[in-house]
Amino acid sequence: MKKAILILLLSLSLAGFSQTSEIELERVKARYEKNEFSAEQYQVMGKEWNRLIAYFGGYPDFPVNQENKRIEYVFIDTLSGFTKKEIFQRIKEYTAINFGHISAVLHYEDYESGKLILKGSFEDYYTKEVSWWVNPSKELLTKIRCNFTVEITVKDERFKMKITDPMVEHYFYFNYLEQSSEMPLSSLYPITDSDTKGWESRLKELLAVKNGIMNYSNSQLAYILNLKQDNNF
């Protein structure tokens, strides 16, 4: 029997980090009260925000550790019938398959304590509306890379995984060469502090990161569970 628990260490507010749709709307209200835009614009912005949240099926909130104020996912999985050695080895195998050469991402390993520390990453794409002087409105396929720290602790029939400190690397072209710049994921919040035209792009980017983290966790778990099937030949 497999039991998976996702512990979300949530906080309702964090300085400089907006975490809920309601808080995002509070930021819009605060801007309106500072006379940054008219009452008509305020209404339009509220309707646009609600439209986007409905379109994307919810707000891409991230769990935050209240003690250190960092984004932190904690996954605890129970794998009945699996030994510590089997789980430990399958995680290392999956790391090599998913990230390439294991020595590039494995930063700490101690079997006795069951501890592994990895520096993982994944790439994703989303469409972003941009303006060109020859074309006032155009969608551009944009590449991002999410870099994050993974701490794993393994014991018989159980393992715990923490994913912390997501950093987002944005790619762009300068002088016909691909360049990149990295920033904390939290810098994308609050979304509603940016221009209304940028809200959709930010939501797409945050959802891409959130889905990527969940896909990484789920695919690693599936690989561990397939041990017996892989050896059945």
In whole numbers, what is the pLDDT of the chain averaged over residues?
84
**pLDDT greater at residue 142 or residue 163:** 163
Measured CA angle at 159 (ends 158, 165), to 5 deg:
160
Q: How far apart are CA 27 and CA 132, in angstroms?
A: 30
pLDDT in tens, 21-49: 888 999 999 999 999 999 999 999 999 99
CB 218 within 8 A of CB 226: no
Q: Dihedral of the CA atoms 106, 109, 167, 210 (nearest 10)?
A: 100
What domains are defined for the chain?
2-230 (3.30.530.80)
Asked if pLDDT for residue 15 goes beyond 50, the answer is: no
Q: What pLDDT shows up at residue 127?
A: 75
Angle, nearest 10°, between helix axes 84-99 and 199-225?
Answer: 140
Q: What pLDDT shows up at residue 17?
A: 41
The pLDDT confidence band at residue 130, using thresholds 50, 70 and 90, is low
